Every structure is written in C-alpha cells, then in structure tokens.
Amino acid sequence: MMDWEAAILKLIVMTITYKTLIILALSLSLLSCQQDKSIHSVTDIPRLMERTAALHYGQEWTNLQNSFAELSARASRDIDDLTSRISLAQIYIREARITGEHGHYYPAALDVLDQILDNEGRDKDQEFMAQSLKAGVLLSLHQFPEALETASAAVKLNPFNAQIYGVLVDAQVEMGDYRTAIEMADKMVSIRPDLRSYARVSYLREIHGMPEESIEAMEMAVAAGFPSYEETAWAKVTLSKLYRDIGDANRAEAILESILIERPNYPFAIAEQANLAFERGDPELAIDLLDQAIRVIPEVGFNVKLAEIYDHMGLHEEKAEVIVDVLAMLEDDEANGHKMSMEFAYVYGHLSGNNKRALEYLMEEYEIRPGNIDVNRMLAEIYVNLENWERARYHWERASQTGSGHPELKAIQERLAKVEGQNSQVGSEAGSI
C-alpha cells in the first residue's frame, strides 16, 4: 500500500471513530438528560423514610413501600395525576403518627397537597380532599386558626362528609369554642358513626367531666375499628388512659396487653404501661419501658415523662440530660412548622422551674386561643407558682368552664381556697382589732 493510500485509510478510520464518539457522546448526554429529568421529577415527591425494624408489622411495611413506589411513579410521570398525590399525602400523614417523624412527613404532606391546590385542573372532589387533609395536617402542626379556616372552606365544598366535621371538632376544641365543637360532633356521628366519630364524642365527654360516658363512647370507637390497625391501637391506648384515670389499673393494663398482641412494639401502648408502672410505685420499670418506646420512635412526650420520673427519683443529672434532648426536639419541630409553645411552657414550668419563661410561651398561645381550657389551666398553675392569686383565680375559672375533672384543676382550686381562706382570716382579725 502506497503511503498516501495508508494516510487516506487512517483519515477515514479516524473520521468514522470521531463520528462514533460524537454520536455516543450525544446519546449519553440525551440519556443523562432523561435520567436527570426522571430523578428531578421523582425528587419532587418527598421520600418515604425507612421504618425501624420494630415498626415493620409483618407485611404492612412491605405493602406500604410497594404502594408508595407505584403512587410516586404515577405522580412523577403525570403532573395532573392528582388522585395519586392525594393517596401519597394520606401515606405521609399516617406515617407521621406511626414513626414519629413529624419534621419530615407533615411538611411532605403539605407540599403534595399544595401541588394539588395549585393545579387548575383539579375537580371539586379533589379540592375538597386536599383542603380536608391539609386542615388535618395544620391541626397536627398546632396551627389551629389556619386549620379552622381551611376546614371551614372545605366543608363548603362538601357538607356531607364526616371526616371534615371531625377536623372541625378538633379545631373548635383547640380554639376554645366547645359549644360549636359539640354541634360538629353531632353532625359527624349522624353522617358516619365509626371509630373517628365515637372517639371525638368520647373526648368531648371527658373534657365536660363525664368519665363514665367518655369510656362508653371510646368502647364504641374500639368496637368499630379493625383489629391490628394503627388507629384502632390508638383508640385502645386512649381507652386504657380513661380507665387509669378512674382508678381501674387492671382493666387499663389488660387493654394495653391486648394491643401489644395485635401490634407488637406499639410505642404508645408501651409508654402507657410505663405510666401505670410509675403510678403503682415502680419507677425503675417505668424507665425501662419508656426507653423501649423511645427506641421505637422519637416522641417528645416519652422523653418528657422520662424527665419527670428522673425528677421524682432525685436523679438530677439524668433529668438535665433529657431536658436538653427535649428542647432540641422541640426546636427541630418548630423549625419544620410545628408550633410547640405549650410544650416549651411545660418543660420550662414543670421540669425546669422557670415560671417566667414558661409564662412567655403560654401568653403567645393565650393571645391566639384565649378560650382554650388547657391554655388557661396551665396559666392558672403558673400564676399560682408566681403567687399572683388574682390572675390564677381568673384563669382557673376559665379552665373550669366545661366541668373538666383534670386533676391539676382540683390541685389549683385547693391551693387558691387555702390562700383565700388565709387572707379572709387575716382580714377578719384585722377588723376585730
């Protein structure tokens, strides 16, 4: 082969190779863009967090993962698939309660629900479901005025849905409008007498000082639930607490044991067992049980109870360590939109003895919902600690408006009566001189 022929052949080979490389590069680039688009669209759907092994519950976790994968794939392929997004929001809301990962799941639910509400192609039913679910999430985030406003808008879209009346019951209770809450509960039960409606009737009876009637309604709620479902377990824990409150510890314990047979490692049942153990004088067992519950989910309330037990036992260093953890958890919740003023107030007032700091947090809450009995009860207690008897009396009266049998109300009343009796005696003695 002549030198010039070899040179031409080399040039042809180089040209073909160069073109091949260009085509290959363009193909890879296109594939990369497609992959980036797919990744981007999937990441628009907030992820499902891994549950701890204790929360797998047989096939429940596997089935949930499969459902989530299918729903997220549909939603990522089609921005107008609003039905899949509604189902995803429901998964996030349920997982928030099951796993305790509120900081991830509640913002995730709001994100997806806002995608629905911002989509002009939504129909009336989809808008109602999105508004209803959003109102429930806002309640969980303790954004009560916003929850009430959203629920009030939703019920106008569908006044025949029981679920939205349940949200309205909760919102009105939190805002301190107990008369309207009862009306909403009546409507809810008339539309659908089920676990959720009976549970709300039970709570309204409880805060109106009707313990036996409250138990009756919660028994009906449990009977209406499906065995092993999380919401049924939640109702059973509440029923156990009601029996504990009236002094029937044996019945309360039996209910908790039945929960743990159906749903092993259910953390709220374990934590309630800790409460029973502490009340019967076994704080060491209570600590062990709370440690078990805390290993399952990061629930603030479990840690608060642990700090209380350490305080009772005089273990001040251990208590201080837990308080640090609790405050960090509360700050993280607030960073994710969860208003925790009441919880901060409880930690500073009950656990740290910083009544002035507790009062600051409580007044933030009082400005938003001055009629709420829990806010007023905590304020009454703080003012008793600060020996501001006039303000304590005022808030005690507001906290007592429903006839609640809360034990702290009775303790505050006894303290006020004692002080007022002493003042009356001093005044009488002064008048006789």
Residue 107 has pLDDT above 80, yes or no: yes
Residues 270-294, mean pLDDT to the nearest whole number: 98
Residue 144 banded pLDDT, cuts 50, 70, 90: very high
Contact 60, 104 (CB under 8 A): no
Arithmetic mean of pLDDT over the chain: 90
Residue 387 to residue 128: CA distance in whole angstroms: 49
- pLDDT tens across 313-342, in order? 999 999 999 999 999 999 999 999 999 999
pLDDT computed for residue 4 by the predictor: 37
- pTM value is 0.86
Residue 421 has pLDDT above 90, yes or no: no
Contact 135, 171 (CB under 8 A): yes
Residues 155-178, mean pLDDT to the nearest whole number: 98
Residues 128-151, mean pLDDT to the nearest whole number: 98
Using a 10 angstrom Cβ sphere, with 0-12 exposed, 13-18 middle and 19 or more buried, the burial of residue 96 is buried
Contact 222, 203 (CB under 8 A): no
pLDDT computed for residue 427 by the predictor: 52
Residue 166 has pLDDT above 80, yes or no: yes
pLDDT computed for residue 10 by the predictor: 41
Q: When comparing pLDDT for 231 and 21, which is higher?
A: 231
Residue 420 banded pLDDT, cuts 50, 70, 90: confident
pLDDT computed for residue 26 by the predictor: 35
pLDDT computed for residue 426 by the predictor: 53
Nearest to 393 by CA among 374, 407, 409, 405: 409
Question: Contacts for 283-292 with beta carbons within 8 Å, 24 or more apart?
Answer: 283/309, 283/312, 283/313, 292/265, 292/267
* pLDDT cut 90: percent of the chain above it: 86
Residue 77 has pLDDT above 70, yes or no: yes
* pLDDT cut 70: percent of the chain above it: 88
Residue 15 has pLDDT above 90, yes or no: no
- pLDDT tens across 373-419, in order? 999 999 999 999 999 999 999 999 999 999 999 999 999 999 999 99
Residues 407-433, mean pLDDT to the nearest whole number: 76
Residue 102 banded pLDDT, cuts 50, 70, 90: very high
pLDDT computed for residue 425 by the predictor: 58
Q: When comparing pLDDT for 426 and 353, which is higher?
A: 353
Residue 43 banded pLDDT, cuts 50, 70, 90: very low
Residues 334-359, mean pLDDT to the nearest whole number: 96
Residue 12 to residue 238: CA distance in whole angstroms: 82
Out of 7-16, 186-195, 245-254, which region has the weakest mean confidence (pLDDT)?
7-16
pLDDT computed for residue 424 by the predictor: 61
